[in-house]
Structure 1
Amino acid sequence: MQKAKKYEWQDTNLALFGSQTEKDVKKEAAETEPAWKGCGQKVGLQIWRIVKFKVEHWNKEDYGDFFDGDSYIILNTFKEEDSEELNYDVHFWIGKHSTQDEYGTAAYKTVELDTYLDDKPVQHREVMNKESDLFKTYFKRLTYMNGGADSGFRHVKPEEYPPRLLHCHMEGKGRKACLKINEERKVSKKCLRSDDVYFLDGGTKMFMWCGSSSKHDERFKAAQEFQSMTAKRPRAVKESLDEDEISPDHPFWDFFTDDDDDDDSGDDVDADEDADDSKTFESVLFRLSNSSGVLDFTEVSKGNNICRSDLDSNDVFILDTGMDCFVWAGKDADKEEKNNGIPYATEYLKKTLHRNAPISSLKEGSKCKKFTELIGR
């Protein structure tokens, strides 16, 4: 089932995330949500998907797989070294074609989960293809699949599969390296690029195609994932192919179309992608304060001048690094300031060239390693 081609969640009531409306979710109500029962009691990852306004557990075997037409909630429970205290990061993830109802529910339920866990979690907004480094550390690979909760793709018999072309590419280096796998909208030869690796899933036939200039690490990681993927379908025919060696009449090509009429290969390209300044942006710190009687959003410092002493427990601060955006609420900030941190950060990012940057919301004293590294102790 094809969902909305474009999402404009920045222009919807998602900007109210963190407002009084969501904050009024009482813990008694949170405790009536069956999905939260027993969560956050031990170290590990838990994932839920939003299906028709309800929170449903996502199968552990599918962790790392996300439908681009859905929204998800991810809870990571962890302990610091030499401590038995449980800490939390909770993320809501927005698929590129997720509907307003779905990501609005995910945002609302994220606040509810935060309430259930006594307001201890650091909350994060994640947008497909723009995930934070922290989010990517949870998975060895991220797979984006077309469709959503209503597609029922996993219930189709292998011999009835519509062919799928999956594009593999590495992001990050070292421990931050993550294999991303995107399902192409069309199984077209024009999608194949020599510098990447692709999987062709034909149901009963599965292929890994390696571009002639693809990197060794990319091939290695993709091969590991291909082996894991094909192990789940032992009766399927599997084959690894090299761009320079495959013949024009190989059965691999039978799955492709050269019909590029109504080509939608650009559907997954963000209109702002070419103008993205996230890697060159100079960090800036803003203060959100109503000390004058009205909410004022003012710049405090930029670049290397940003330091811990800029923060004040009486106010809320928004730190934009281009790659990430942090909303820090001082312990003595009042309700109006705290409730408007996320809306102001969302509205501010809409006017930048990195509007989909991850947003993390934390309270003074919360455990957030990256923010601490950026702002100092």
Structure 2
Amino acid sequence: MAHLTKLKKYDIKDSNIELLGSDLEKRVREHAGDTEEAWNDAGKETGLEVWRIEKFKVVRRPATGEFYDGDSYIVLYTYKTTPDAETLSYDLHFWLGEDTSQDEAGTAAYKTVELDDHLHGVPVQYREVQGNESERFLSYFPQFVTIHGGIETGFRHVSDPVPLDIRILYHITHTANNNLIVRQVPAEAKSLIQGDVYVFDKGEKVLQLNTKESVGKERFKAAEFVRSIIDGRGGQSELMVFDEGSGAGLFLAEFGEGVTLRPAPPKETTPLSLFRISDETGKPSFTQVASASLDALSPQDAFLFDACSQLFVWIGKNASLAERRLAPQYAQRYLYNKEASNFAVPIVTMRQGFETPGFLQAVQA
């Protein structure tokens, strides 16, 4: 019987994604060859494209919004800034599942840079980590679902036959644009937090809990998700819906005696900060800039702007190759040294002249 080789899990807290000059980079190059065929048609037309990393290979996947937490993905959104625009614009994301391997994460990061080069450096790049995705990324998918599984993990995929004696818990929220976000979470009491909607799939019974803080659209979309589960089983599952304050105890009792909803953790807030990345002295330097404003940006260097919920990397049009290449790694290292409670915030990398509205809004706040 063949055995899966256990790959080293990627630790998002690592200060370096282990790419430039590493053995991983050499292995990626060896597997990819001189050209990546997956990029031949990438970004030629407006729309959404998704690829998954499979054993160092870039494999196109349907853009359904379904992601496995054991995998890493590359997502390209091609659009026009106005209907009459003659050129295409791009948002380029690499998404890291919480159980992805170090090899998969590193390959996704490396191949994202490769695709960026293929598109002549025009895309805005995003590092996305499961559970902390940017609003921009989530906006692409009317229903964004993360599920336990993956190409290397050996976990059950949702396409496999589902037994009617399972215990799967989903946490359901929505974006500002009312897109549905469905995250599979551990089926245990500590996963139950005030706010939003929960769906507990027991196979023969599917239970939905609407908390007091959940809104009508959220409950409605959660019900649609539950209905898709039940319809897929040909009526073998029974639906039960509970509202917090009127029967929720039956839902909570599934996770132990005396279980209650835990309060949501407070959101971290920090002052806005701007840092300059420069090699004008011959050695790379990383220094804080006194004024976190647009006026402080110089086309000769790269800059890191900490907006708390996102980390922006701005690259001047005259920045050196070393500054352009090192800036995203400085961002990763910055989060590590900062010892923030959330290492997984999106890292958004853009060139001068291709600033995102979110960056401009944050830096002018």
8 Å CA contact 2:74, 2:94 repeated in 1:
yes
Q: Paired residue for 1:359?
A: 347
8 Å CA contact 2:302, 2:324 repeated in 1:
yes
AA in 1 matched with 2:361: E
Alignment of 1:117-266 (within 5 A): 117-149=119-151, 150-159=154-163, 162-170=166-174, 172-173=175-176, 175=177, 177-186=178-187, 188=188, 191-192=191-192, 195-203=195-203, 205-211=205-211, 214-243=214-243, 244-245=246-247, 256=254, 258=256
How many residue pairs end up in the alignment?
Answer: 345
8 Å CA contact 1:146, 1:185 repeated in 2:
no
Q: Paired residue for 1:102?
A: 104
Q: Paired residue for 2:48?
A: 45
8 Å CA contact 2:78, 2:90 repeated in 1:
yes
8 Å CA contact 1:158, 1:204 repeated in 2:
no
Q: Check 1:12–1:214 CA distance in 2 against 1; reply closer, same or farther (3 A cut).
A: closer
Q: Check 1:162–1:153 CA distance in 2 against 1; reply closer, same or farther (3 A cut).
A: farther
Structure 1 distance, partners of 2:43, 2:217, is: 35
Structure 1 distance, partners of 2:20, 2:130, is: 18
TM-score by length of 2: 0.81
Structure 2 distance, partners of 1:192, 1:300, is: 42
Please state if 1:67 is matched with 2:53.
no
SS at match of 2:305: strand
8 Å CA contact 1:22, 1:111 repeated in 2:
no
Identical positions, percent: 36
Q: Paired residue for 1:336?
A: 322
Provide the aligned C-alpha RMSD in A.
3.6
TM-score by length of 1: 0.78
- 1:16 Cα deviation after fit: 4.0
**Residue segments in structure 1 that go unaligned for 5+ positions in a row:** 261-265, 267-272
8 Å CA contact 1:326, 1:371 repeated in 2:
yes
Q: 2:307 aligns with which of 309, 312, 321?
A: 321
Structure 1 distance, partners of 2:51, 2:165, is: 26
8 Å CA contact 1:319, 1:325 repeated in 2:
yes
Structure 1 distance, partners of 2:249, 2:285, is: 65
**Residue segments in structure 2 that go unaligned for 5+ positions in a row:** none
AA in 2 matched with 1:216: G
SS at match of 2:328: helix
Q: Paired residue for 2:361?
A: 373
Please state if 1:293 is matched with 2:293.
no
Structure 2 distance, partners of 1:369, 1:184, is: 32
For residues 179-212 of structure 1, give each alpha carbon's deviation from its aligned partner in whole angstroms, at most 9, with x where no partner exists: 33222323x4665556442223344554433346
- 1:232 Cα deviation after fit: 4.0
- 1:33 Cα deviation after fit: 2.5
Structure 2 distance, partners of 1:247, 1:372, is: 47
AA in 1 matched with 2:281: S
